[in-house]
Structure 1
Amino acid sequence: MGWWDELEASLTAKLDDFLRAHPDLAAEMEQDTLAEQETQTRQLLQQLQGETQTLEQKILATGEQIRLWHERLALAERAGRQDLIHAAKMRQGILMTQGNQYWAELTVAKKRIQQLQALLTQIQSKRQQVQPPTDSSSGYQTPDRVEKEFRNLELEREFEQLKRDMGRK
């Protein structure tokens, strides 16, 4: 194990000890982490929903093209034009393959959306479980709340000093 790994392990252990000693800060940190995860999950959901809409439009457009080439194939068959029959069948086959590919991508995207929605529900549930206690909705801070804020500030400074001290070793 190199010196960097030792330093990282030592800092991690110190942070873990610090957070165990101050569960209110641990809850705030976890709340912040969960809020960030929720934001990222929502953004990914929106992106996938946009991709789903785009794929649905491509499927509809491809279906319309397949219908058009089916009509052209029928026209070529009625006219007895073997060259156009072959070309229309080829084009129709290419469009069918493309449509199947879009359909497969849509299926995967919808499955991922379901997974992300389940993940979002889990994150929101966990956020409610680690919700730190809040004061009254009025803007007034009780003396206990002010005390807590100062304690947090002092603890943050102690933690920063500890990190600086660890960096010197």
Structure 2
Amino acid sequence: MGLFEDLSTFLETRLDEFLRANPQLELMGLEDQLRGQERDAIALLGDLKRREQQLKDQILATAQDIQKWHERLNRAKAANRPDLVAMAEEREAALLRQGNQYWGQMQGVNAQIDQTRALQKQIHERRRELKAKMAQLEAERANQRASQHAAQATNAWETGWYQSPMAGAGYAPIDPVEESFQRWEMEQELEDLKRQVGR
């Protein structure tokens, strides 16, 4: 068991070192996490909206039942039926309690919807910031690579590594890219001449 713990610690340490050396990978991991969280927030928002609609439907149905029992209560009172009046009052009171419960639940769901929307917006904003940071980091790395290449080329130029063989004969030194293309173009011309001679 100790071996696995040691190996796990070693791998975590190496991973941390690797991520510190390659911060863009750590940012990509964070971006993946945020994308997952945003997806979860959107799914939760969908569930909450469905629950809100269910509660609205239940409140409407309960209100219609209350109205029906209220009319029955009034008819029972008009008919002087105290037995039916008592039953209608009891049913109307039960429906009012149920309606209040649904209303309270809907208020809670509405609060959750607001919180989830705010959270989703916050996550979306973080993702946007993270993408901007990743783009900035990539631009910095590209600039750094370009600077290193320029420094290497300048160094090679100054030390004479890329001087043309003609440089000693009073000619200006040729840059390495120019020299490569000239060599390639001469080889192409030679190949063309060989083909023409071979016909």
Scaled to the shorter chain, the TM-score interval is: 0.7 to 0.9
Code of the aligned partner of 2:59: I
Aligned to 1:133, what secondary structure does the other structure show?
helix
Aligned to 1:65, what secondary structure does the other structure show?
helix
Code of the aligned partner of 2:63: G
Partner residue, 2:167: none
Aligned to 2:135, what secondary structure does the other structure show?
coil
Q: 1:81/1:7 Cα in 2 relative to 1: closer, same or farther (>3 Å)? A: farther
Superimposed CA distance per residue, residues 29-69 of structure 1 (whole angstroms, 9 cap, x where no aligned partner) = 11111111110100000110110011011101101110110
> What TM-score comes out, normalization by structure 2 length?
0.62
Code of the aligned partner of 1:42: I
Superimposed CA distance per residue, residues 58-99 of structure 1 (whole angstroms, 9 cap, x where no aligned partner) = 101101110110000000000111111111011111111110
Matches within 5 A, 1:86-97: 86-97=86-97
Cα deviation for residue 7 of structure 1 reads 5.5
Alignment of 1:29 onto 2:29: yes
Matches within 5 A, 1:111-122: 111-122=111-122
Cα deviation for residue 15 of structure 1 reads 2.6
Partner residue, 1:104: 104
Cα deviation for residue 108 of structure 1 reads 0.5
Aligned pairs, number: 134
Aligned to 1:80, what secondary structure does the other structure show?
coil
Superimposed CA distance per residue, residues 75-130 of structure 1 (whole angstroms, 9 cap, x where no aligned partner) = 00001111111110111111111101101110100000110011011101110111
Partner residue, 1:58: 58
Distance in 2 (CA, whole Å) between partners of 1:50 and 1:110 is: 11
Q: 1:72/1:18 Cα in 2 relative to 1: closer, same or farther (>3 Å)? A: same
Cα deviation for residue 5 of structure 1 reads 6.1
Cα deviation for residue 133 of structure 1 reads 2.5
Instruction: Work out which structure has the larger RCO, using CA pairs closer than 8 Å and 6 or more positions apart in sequence.
Output: 1
Distance in 1 (CA, whole Å) between partners of 2:126 and 2:34 is: 8
Distance in 1 (CA, whole Å) between partners of 2:5 and 2:78 is: 77
Partner residue, 2:135: 133
Query: Percent identity at matched positions?
Result: 37
Distance in 2 (CA, whole Å) between partners of 1:77 and 1:7 is: 83
> What TM-score comes out, normalization by structure 1 length?
0.73
Code of the aligned partner of 1:30: L
Partner residue, 2:71: 71
Which is greater in Rg?
Answer: 2
Distance in 2 (CA, whole Å) between partners of 1:22 and 1:67 is: 68
Q: CA RMSD in A?
A: 1.9
Alignment of 1:80 onto 2:80: yes
Distance in 2 (CA, whole Å) between partners of 1:57 and 1:16 is: 53
What runs of 5+ residues in structure 1 fail to find an aligned partner? Answer: 135-143, 145-169
Aligned to 1:90, what secondary structure does the other structure show?
helix
Distance in 2 (CA, whole Å) between partners of 1:6 and 1:96 is: 64
Distance in 1 (CA, whole Å) between partners of 2:54 and 2:65 is: 16
